[in-house]
Structure 1
Amino acid sequence: MTVKKLIINQDNTDRRIDNYLLSLYKNVPKSKIYNIIRKGEVRVNSKRIKPSYKLKIDDLVRIPPYLDGPSAQNKKISSDLIEKHTTKIIYEDTNYIVTNKK
């Protein structure tokens, strides 16, 4: 996993860095975006920035590698876990599913 670097184009000029990152990484919580900006893991032109920083054309934005990792949608659920929970289903129809929590 390597650091991702993005160059800001004309379309994203004058956008706040926090809003830009939120639009890029929809699966990452807003609190996580603010956290990595405050820690200095996101940098613009090799400098630490605040969440309110306005992007300029040709800015070089450094993104930590773990933001590009697999999203929750790509994770595989083991067949054992599926089997374990399907055996607990007591009733199921198109609107409801009743399970035994014990």
Structure 2
Amino acid sequence: MDISKIDQISGIGKINGAKPKKSQEKQGYSGEDTLSISSEGLKASEIESLKRLVNSIPEVRQEKIDVAITRMKDGYYLNPSLATDIAETILRRIF
């Protein structure tokens, strides 16, 4: 088998005269990378950040519970005017 004329088949090895591309500077590129984040992406990021914040807050604030227990033991909540104030505050928050 003779393969000496293989380079003549359909222009294999022929340079097609393509011109080199212009450099990036000539095309108006600054050479710096940029990043654009859509408004939906910003909202999603903010939501995730808030979720992490909420998840980091303990569900039970033990120091508040400890104060309430101490006050109950000391009879602090047996004061009639305090009971009225607490009831009114609860009703205002509900309605």
TM-score by length of 2: 0.26
More helix per residue: 1 or 2? Answer: 2
TM-score (structure 1 length as normaliser): 0.25
Q: Which has the larger radius of gyration?
A: 2
Task: Give the structure with the larger strand fraction.
Answer: 1
